[in-house]
Homo-oligomer: A and B are copies of this chain.
Amino acid sequence: MSPHENAAPPRPLRKDAARNRELLIAAARTVFAQRGFAATLDDVAHEAGLGVGTAYRHFANKHELATAVAQQSVDRVSARVRELLTADDPWQAVVDFFEFAMEMQSQDRGVRETLTGSYVWEEFQPQFNVAFEPLEKLVQQAQDAGVVREDVTASDIGVLVMMLCALGEIADYAHPGLIRRYLTMTLEGLKPGGAPLPVPPLDTEQLFTTIQKHKTAAVRPR
């Protein structure tokens, strides 16, 4: 690289710009975690020690920033699932996955609002798929081991996590731990030997699209 770089600005992202992006996402996580997506972008920007304008330089609008936050969360889930793929006990791996997801949401109202579909956005899809691939393997392993009913899919797990998050959204603040009661019941439903499921599951694509559709109806950006 020549030292005359002023001549060629189009580098992907200047170092401080990249840093600001991360600052913003971190601030957004903090703020959204506490007050949900109802929080102001002004608040997020100031939490990051930046101006609103800067936020808009990095993210087209509030939803995009929210999506970025959500993506990071999903990335963390992805990573965890991949770890769990190498676990010894396939059933425990499934349980651990649920517990990890519960742990995440219990800390973060933004995550809950995301998983409950109040606020996701189109650009979200890639990460979504990335997370579901290993989850499918995790489920398959458990099914191969005969500890999870055959007719259950990764998208079912996604749905069940979301339902549990809905509870977390309401009860976790006042009664942390309560969610474990319903997690236990939910896990019962995954074990083999239950009544046949009357309706086929969504595939990953459908699940994503469905959440999309919902949010579009729910939130109208100005």
Contacts and interface: CB of A to CB of B under 8 A. Distances in A.
A117 to B, nearest CB: 4
B201 A169 contact: no
Nearest to A209: B174
User: DSSP class of A's interface residues: helix, strand, loop or mixed?
Assistant: helix
Contacts of A206: 175
Interface stretch (A5-13, A64-72, A78-86, A210-218): A210-218
A215 to B, nearest CB: 9
Interface stretch (A100-108, A130-138, A139-147, A178-186): A178-186
A99 B121 CA distance: 31
Number of copies of chain A assembled together: 4
A171 B36 contact: no
Interface in A110-132: 116-117
Contacts of A117: 169-170
A188 interface: yes
A60 interface: no
B218 A171 contact: no
Interface string A190-222: 110011111111100010011101100110000
Instruction: Give the residue among A163, A178, A182, A201 with the most B Cβ atoms within 10 A.
Output: A163
A195 B199 contact: no
Contacts of A213: 173-174
14 contacts: A35-B218, A117-B169, A162-B170, A163-B182, A169-B214, A170-B211, A171-B210, A171-B214, A174-B209, A184-B198, A185-B197, A186-B186, A187-B195, A188-B194
Name the 6 nearest CB pairs between A and B, nearest first.
Answer: A166-B166, A185-B189, A163-B163, A188-B189, A188-B194, A181-B199
